[in-house]
Amino acid sequence: MLHGDGFSRRGFLYGSALAAGSVMLVACSSSEPTKESGGPGKPKGKPAGAAPKGSETKPITPPAEFQEAPTLAEQVKAGKLPAVKERLPESPYVVPHRWTKSGNYGGRLRMVMGKSNSSAIKEYMYGRSFLRFLNDGLDIGPGLVESWESNDDATQWVFHFRKGLKWSDGQPWSTDDIMYWWEDMVQDDAYTGLNPPDDVRSGRDTVAKVTAPDKTTLMLKFDAPAPITPERLAAWVNSPGETGSVGPLWMQPKHYMSQFHPKYNKKVTRKDWYINHDLKGDFGINPECPTLTGWRLKTYQEGRSVLWERNPFYWCVDKEGKQLPYLDEVQFSVVTEDEVQKLQMTEGKVDYVHGGHHGLVLGDISGFKQSEERTKVRVLLWDSGSGTGSIVFLNYDYPKKNMRDLIRNPDFRRALSHGINRPDARKAIYYDTGELTTGTLSPKGTMFTINDEAKQKYVEWRDAYVKYDVEKAKSMLDELGVVDSNGDGKRELPDGSKLEILLDYPADANNEHMQKNNHYKRDWEAIGVATKLNPIPPAEFGDRWGRGELMTTTAWEVGDNSPLVYPGWVIPVERGHWAPLHGQAFVMQTGDPKKLQEQKDISPWKRTPPWLLPEPGDPIDQLWKLYAQARVEPDQMKRIALMWEVQKIHIEHGPFFYGVVANYPRIVLVRDGLKNVPTRDNLALGGWVNPWILPSPAVYDPETYYWENPAEHT
């Protein structure tokens, strides 16, 4: 199976129009960020004819001649840089988006971020990825890898990298940089916490044999089929972040990193050597660390500002042969408070805002619209791609047995679902946009778009327990014995003890989550279930949830639709989601199986770490078996059918999480004169802002953004 022309995931496009409940939202939804656009009614200034949509799926042959930024040309003339053709690989990547035009070089783009070493900053740079998602994830095309192939059962994959790739310091890239990561980091037992990622695991969780036959070829040999390898390699942005990696690292510049490794530098002691090694290898905090991204770090001021400058060796060009990026610099000002960020946006101190990385809610649109004429920063809306809006997980593994037994009863969870006034929450929080949902994976992506049956599967899950029906909710609770047995006006547990749902949330949760939590509290108390808002210190929340201590998670959302790449939302394979102890057990089955046997007679909540295996035949056992079967299935439609079986369990035994609305819009702010920023109409599925698997905006190549008048933005 040859994949040099792209690995298709395309299907029928999922169309989702914004509800007409807000004139302002409609006015923003597809207008170009021009001086004339915006305001109530039909957007003005929209060009005649259909907007250029989506991206070419067949790789574009680069032109014979290349161009470069004037600042780089000056360095070439001064003998400080090689000529542009020598800096590019033999066959550069040509950005294939239909909406982009050849742009001007120069200028600085000003943005804002909550942390100086935020993983979100890396979400603007796709440069380290082997393969690239195109068309909102419907297709996969080349990246660093120019072509690739597999055998018929997908047990062997061969990847051919572009010849002549260079790091940002001008040193040659080769598969030695991959093998350094694999052999000297992942395989080093002292490198705590760095385990073989899913990318190199077969469908049976066994680790592949990773070899590099030559400087531009990588081979992965599995002992079982690994059919979703291309999807895994296109996911994320493969870079270090503030809490580890944003996707697997997959490579590090060996020529630079080896000086910090005790294998190559005897002056480096073995004790905790990897801590300094990690710091030196993070190109987001260390300006000396080479990178493959379009911009390289210029200055890093902790808690204040991060400045990136053009990488003169970036391996991508536009269709006319202009080396990217167009922008000289990208600056992120660090502002920790969401409200202060918004103030800077309304004061015109920010040029571009991608809503998925900020605490922006639809209620902020009014303020941004009011400031448009003064700031010249325009409001666009893209699709969020969310399957839920703000969610609630009930902890399937809650330690108190009487409450855990109730949570595990699907009729209790369904009663609570019918007790949620989603239409009211949709109106108050999401301005009547999106579509009411029980809570699902994203409606975008192959699982729900590949054919008409897929679309219907999505509707079945979306509508399963979405209806607001107070009397039905009360009746279901009565049948469960969840009644007001002591006459205090609130229902008790079936054993007569106190029933109280704790809506746990990190104390810094944004307004969207807090509004939803207040709605849930009101609605559940209206059916007699005592409900309490319970803020948790943010630094404690993740660990306490992983240990099973908290009752709910309420400040997150489901934004993905690739359950074989990121299964956690629907299949407990790690401890972050609705069955944390089961998820921990899944991890330990492959990582520490001896401990499962050693601790089997200890209470699950007293084990270190806490873990719990499913009972044979129970919903989680079924989900694990379907996941194992799908991971080794080479046929795409058969894999999707197995994922529909996963969905069926979520309907027949669920819901396991609650949503409010799916695919509500997200805010994108763009200053007048910033070009090549796509509108919703340009994008194959209307954009997909929220997930990290499909790294946004990296998949839309911000390296192609340019200023109409660069001299005004220096």
Q: Which amino acid is at 514?
A: M
Beta strands in 114-237 (DSSP E): 131-134, 139-142, 145-150, 156-161, 209-214, 217-221
The pLDDT of residue 8 is 39
The pLDDT of residue 37 is 30
Give 339's pLDDT tier (boundaries 50, 70, 90).
Answer: very high
Residues 246 and 701: their CA atoms lie apart, in Å, by 17
Angle at 408 between CA 444 and CA 417, to 5 degrees: 50
Average pLDDT (10-19) is 32
Backbone angles phi, psi at 586, to 5 degrees: -60, -45
DSSP state, residue 204:
T
Residue 711's Cβ-count burial label (10 Å; 0-12, 13-18, 19+) is exposed
Task: Tokens for 402, please give them.
Answer: 């009487």
pLDDT above 50 for 47: no
Residue 446's Cβ-count burial label (10 Å; 0-12, 13-18, 19+) is buried
The pLDDT of residue 49 is 61
Q: What is the CA radius of gyration of the chain?
A: 26
User: H helices within 241-352, ranges in order?
Assistant: 254-257, 273-280, 338-346
pLDDT above 70 for 20: no
Q: Which amino acid is at 119?
A: S
Residues 430 and 221: their CA atoms lie apart, in Å, by 47
Task: Give tens-digit pLDDT for 426-457.
Answer: 999 999 999 999 999 999 989 999 999 999 99
Q: Which of 366, 358, 362 is nearest to 342 (CA)?
A: 358
The pLDDT of residue 35 is 35
Secondary structure string (H, E, C) spanning 548-570:
CCCCEECCCCCCCCCCCCCCCCC
Of the CA atoms within 13 Å of residue 194, those in its CB half-sphere come to 23
Domains, the chain: 7-32+56-384+664-713 (3.40.190.10), 392-662 (3.10.105.10)
pLDDT above 70 for 21: no
Residues 6+ apart with CB under 8 A from 601: none
Average pLDDT (393-419) is 98
Torsional class of 457: left (φ above 0), alpha (ψ -120 to 50), beta (otherwise): alpha
Residues 338 and 343: their CA atoms lie apart, in Å, by 9
Task: Tokens for 476, please give them.
Answer: 């279901």
Residues 382 and 29: their CA atoms lie apart, in Å, by 7
pLDDT above 70 for 18: no
Q: Which of 463, 124, 167 is nearest to 289 (CA)?
A: 167
Cα 401 to Cα 370, 604, 636: the distances in Å are 53, 12, 41
3-state secondary structure at position 404: helix
pLDDT above 80 for 30: no
Q: Which residue has the tokens 């059916």?
A: 527
The pLDDT of residue 28 is 56
Task: Give tens-digit pLDDT for 158-180.
Answer: 999 999 999 999 999 999 999 99
Count of residues in the chain:
714
Residues 282 and 289: their CA atoms lie apart, in Å, by 7
Per the CB < 8 A criterion, the answer to whether 440 and 31 are in contact is no
The pLDDT of residue 7 is 39
Question: Per-residue DSSP letters for 462-505?
Answer: HHTT----HHHHHHHHHHTT---SSSSSS-B-TTSSB-EEEEEE
Give 591's pLDDT tier (boundaries 50, 70, 90).
Answer: confident
Residues 403 and 501: their CA atoms lie apart, in Å, by 9
Cα 633 to Cα 219, 441, 684: the distances in Å are 20, 21, 28
pLDDT above 80 for 560: yes
Per the CB < 8 A criterion, the answer to whether 644 and 448 are in contact is no
The pLDDT of residue 38 is 31
Per the CB < 8 A criterion, the answer to whether 173 and 87 are in contact is no
Task: Give tens-digit pLDDT for 296-337.
Answer: 999 999 999 999 999 999 999 999 999 999 999 999 999 999
